[in-house]
Homo-oligomer: A and B are copies of this chain.
């Protein structure tokens, strides 16, 4: 049996993600890893800068358990805080603090620069159809 182009695609996806995430993490953006940055990004985007943990997990593509663990150091460093939901005691919101907002804005510049650096300028123009393909695979971050 031969290897389908679909499978090769997924192998290259895995490899590129490994390379790219290592490069982003090495930037050590103001102390944030890339996943940390994504969490701040999603919160920044959300109305009132607050999200349920489960929604955050879903949106970032991790499990609820993973989110619980990722948030711990960010809370400890005062970038996020926790808020309860009056109507549903199971829920606890994640809320961006002022410090979190400030750090995010700084990190955003760094991240944007790194992203542009990584993605050849010529390629940027061709990116729309690619984003569409990622979207069919669950990549719905905008």
Contact = CB atoms under 8 A, between A and B. Distances in A.
Contact of A136 (B22, B61, B111, B123): B123
Contacts of A120: 136
A62 to B, nearest CB: 6
Contact of A139 (B16, B109, B131): B16
Nearest to A137: B16
Contacts of A109: 1
Interface residues of A, number: 58
Q: Is the interface of A mostly helix, strand, loop or mixed?
A: helix
Interface stretch (A4-12, A47-55, A72-80, A87-95): A4-12
A133 to B, nearest CB: 5
A6 B112 contact: yes
Given A8-B131, A109-B1, A112-B4, A61 B119 contact: no
